[in-house]
Structure 1
């Protein structure tokens, strides 16, 4: 079995392609977590101290809630995209 060419995975095993898609999605999600953590920190932390003041705590809670909302939206969208790809593939094979 030859390794996939550097130009793409056009002829690669479908399971390998799916694995790579899933791992790529995981990587993108981790990047999103990192970006949102950095964004919330920059937005909410004026001055680091021994404990959070109420304003910073509220800011972090709101920021995390927006992150969760955004993450849920993205995951739902990815799921819809995968379902539509599967439905399209199935209709082609009929």
Structure 2
């Protein structure tokens, strides 16, 4: 079916699909990290507020997740830049 589109339309469709796949991967990562932080930090019963310890744990968990994600992205960019063209 993709053969029926001109080259510009095929490129646009490919870019759109890549963007949607990237969004999907990001959403999956956020879901996984949310679940991990929740399971690690929320120890009591759920109420309208987190305890001070739970809140601190969640903040630290999110910060470490973001730090790690940025580190990985930076390393991947460095590796991609080091590849011969």
> What SS does the corresponding residue of 1:46 show, helix, strand or coil?
coil
Q: Report the RMSD for the aligned CA atoms in angstroms.
A: 2.7
Contiguous gaps of at least 5 residues in structure 1: 6-11, 89-94
Moved over 3 A (4+): 73-78
The yes-or-no answer on 1:16 pairing with 2:13 is yes
Q: Count matched residues.
A: 76
Gap change, CA 1:18 and 1:26, over 3 Å in 2: same
Gap change, CA 1:73 and 1:22, over 3 Å in 2: farther
> More helix by proportion, 1 or 2?
2
Contiguous gaps of at least 5 residues in structure 2: 4-8
Shift of 1:13: 1.2
Higher RCO (CA 8 Å, separation ≥ 6 residues): 2
